[in-house]
Amino acid sequence: MRCDIVTLFPEMFAALTEYGVTGRAAKRGRYTLVFHNPRDHTPLPHRQVDDRPYGGGPGMVMRPEPLTAAIRAAKTAQHTELGFTGPVIYLSPQGKRFTQADAHRLAQYPAFTLLCGRYEGIDQRVIDLEVDEELSLGDFVLSGGELAAMVVLDATIRLLPGVLGDAESARRDSFQAGLLDHPHYTRPETFEGLRVPSVLLSGNHTAIQKWRQAQAMERTARCRPDLLDDRKDAFNP
C-alpha cells in the first residue's frame, strides 16, 4: 500500500515508521509513505502557506495554491508509479466518523492521499476542487490533522497482509465479531492479592474460549450496548 501525505510536519510520522508493528511493516515494505510538504509547492514568497482569513477573525487559513499543488503532485506520482490514483482524504472534525469498516476499505486501495491541515483551517476551495472524502476521529479539536492521519494509518496498516502475526490476527478476528475485547492476564498468578481467573489456568481450551466469549459479550453489553444493536457495522466491514 502506498500513502501520499500532504503535511507541514512529515517528521511526525516517524511515530508509525520507527516503532512496533507499523515500524516493522514499513521496514518490510508492506506500505510506503510519501510526503508532500506544501512549503515545497508554494508559489508565494518566503515559502508562505497561510494567510489572513477573508471576513476577519482570529488566526490564519492555509492558502489554496500550495495545498492544491501538493495534492496534485501526490496524485500524479501515484498515477506514474502505480497507474492508479486513490481518493484524497481530508482529516477534520467536519468529516464522517472513522470506523474499523473505513480501515478495511482503505486497506484495499493500492494507494490513497491524506491531507493534513494546520492553523484555523484550509481554504474551502481546496476541499471543493481536490478532496474526495472527509474523515473525523471524533468530536474534539486537535492542533492539526497529522495525529488523526497517523491513527487512520495505524488502523489501516494493521489490516494489510503479513503485518499482524498469527496470534494478533486471531485476536483481531475476535474484534471482527463486533465485540469489545475480553480481559487479559499474564504472570504472576497473584498480584497484590488479585488472582488470575482459574479457568485460564485449567488448560481446558474449550472452556477458556467459552469464558473469553462470555466476557467479551458481557463487557460489550455493559460498556457499549450500541455495538450489539447492529454488529454488522461496528467492527465488521
Ligand X SMILES: Nc1nonc1C(=O)NCc1ccc(Cl)cc1
- Residue 173 is a catalytic residue: yes
Q: Which three cell numbers stand for residue 203?
A: 488448560
Among residues 105, 158, 219, 224, the one annotated as catalytic is: 158
CA 208 distance to own-chain centroid: 32
Q: How far is the CB of 149 from ligand X (least distance, A)?
A: 8
CB 121, min distance to ligand X, A: 4
d(CA 99, CA 137): 8
Cell numbers that stand for 80 in this block: 506514474
Question: Does residue 147 contact residue 15 with C-beta atoms inside 8 Å?
Answer: no
- Residue 179 annotated as binding? no
117 is in an annotated binding site: yes
Q: Is 9 annotated as a binding residue?
A: no
Site for ligand X, rule CB under 6 A = 91-93, 117-119, 121-122, 136-138, 140-142, 144-145, 148
Choosing from 39, 93, 168, 229, the catalytic residue is: 93
Closest-CA residue to 22 (of 150, 214, 125)? 150
> Of the two residues 8 and 157, which places its CB atom closer to ligand X in the complex?
8
Query: Which helix (DSSP H) or strand (DSSP E) does residue 194 occupy?
Result: strand 194-195
> Hey, what's the cell of 26?
514499513
Q: Sign of the CA dihedral 231, 232, 233, 234? A: positive
Q: Is 138 annotated as a binding residue?
A: yes
Contacts of residue 173, Cβ cutoff 8 Å, sequence gap at least 6: none
Query: By Cβ distance, which residue is nearest to ligand X?
Result: 117
Q: Is 177 exposed, middle or buried (0-12, 13-18, 19+ CB in 10 A)?
A: middle
| The one catalytic residue among 24, 39, 47, 120 | 120
Q: CB of 92: closest distance to ligand X in angstroms? A: 5
Q: What is the gyration radius of the CA atoms in the chain, in angstroms?
A: 22
Identify which of residues 10 and 23 has a Cβ nearer to ligand X in the complex. Answer: 10
Nearer to ligand X, 86 or 145 (CB): 145
59 annotated as ligand-binding: no
Closest distance of CB 152 from ligand X, Å: 8
For ligand X, the closer CB: 49 or 148: 148
Is 233 tagged catalytic? no
- Hey, which residues are catalytic here? 93, 120, 158, 173
The annotated binding site for S-adenosyl-L-methionine is made up of 117, 137-142
